[in-house]
Structure 1
Amino acid sequence: MLKDAIDLAVKWHKPEDRKGSINGKSLPYIIHPFQVMRLVWSWGAGTDVTMSASMLHDVLENTKLTYYELDGVIGEEAAKVVQELTYEGDKDAKKEYMKTFRSSSIEALIIKVADRINNVQDFMTTKPDYAQKYFDKAKDLFDALLFRKSEIEEKYGVTTAQNIVDSYLSVEVSLKILEENNKG
Structure 2
Amino acid sequence: MFTDKINLALKIAAKAHQGQNRKGTDIPYISHPVAVGMIISQYTNDEATIVAGILHDILEDVNPAVYSEADMRRDFGDEITDIVKDVSEPKTAGQPKLPWKERKESYLNRLGNSYYIEAYIVATADKIHNLTDILKDYDQFGDEIWQRFNASKWDILWYYRAVFSLIRNEPVPIELKHHLATLIEELGGVVTINPYD
Q: TM-score range by the shorter chain?
A: 0.7 to 0.9
Structure 2 CA distance, aligned partners of 1:12 and 1:108? Answer: 21
CA gap of 1:59–1:181, structure 2 versus 1, over 3 A, is: same
Decide whether the 8 Å contact of 2:6 with 2:50 is kept in 1: yes
Structure 2 CA distance, aligned partners of 1:132 and 1:33? Answer: 26
Structure 2 CA distance, aligned partners of 1:45 and 1:15? Answer: 30
Structure 1: 5+ residue stretches without partners: 153-160
CA gap of 1:73–1:56, structure 2 versus 1, over 3 A, is: same
**Aligned twin of 1:101:** 111
More helix by share: 1
Structure 2 CA distance, aligned partners of 1:101 and 1:111? Answer: 10
Decide whether the 8 Å contact of 2:157 with 2:188 is kept in 1: no
**Aligned twin of 1:55:** 54
Matched residues, number = 168
Structure 2 CA distance, aligned partners of 1:84 and 1:101? Answer: 5
| AA of the residue aligned to 2:41 | W
- 2:79 aligns with one of 71, 77, 80: 77
CA gap of 1:133–1:66, structure 2 versus 1, over 3 A, is: same
Decide whether the 8 Å contact of 1:50 with 1:111 is kept in 2: yes
Q: CA deviation at 1:85?
A: 1.8
Structure 2 CA distance, aligned partners of 1:72 and 1:171? Answer: 36
Q: How do residues 122-141 of structure 1 correspond to structure 2 at under 5 angstroms?
A: 122-127=133-138, 128-129=142-143, 130=146, 133-141=155-163
CA gap of 1:84–1:174, structure 2 versus 1, over 3 A, is: same
Q: CA deviation at 1:140?
A: 2.5
Decide whether the 8 Å contact of 1:116 with 1:135 is kept in 2: no
Structure 1 CA distance, aligned partners of 2:191 and 2:88? Answer: 31
Higher mean C-alpha displacement, 124-133 vs 50-59: 124-133
Does residue 9 in structure 1 map to residue 29 in structure 2? no
**Aligned twin of 1:110:** 121
- 1:66 aligns with one of 59, 65, 68: 68
Does residue 45 in structure 1 map to residue 47 in structure 2? no
**Aligned twin of 1:34:** 34
Structure 1 CA distance, aligned partners of 2:160 and 2:109? Answer: 9
Percent identical among aligned pairs is 23
Q: CA deviation at 1:3?
A: 0.9
Structure 2 CA distance, aligned partners of 1:98 and 1:51? Answer: 21
CA gap of 1:100–1:147, structure 2 versus 1, over 3 A, is: farther
Structure 2: 5+ residue stretches without partners: 92-97, 147-152
| AA of the residue aligned to 1:38 | M
Decide whether the 8 Å contact of 1:132 with 1:175 is kept in 2: no
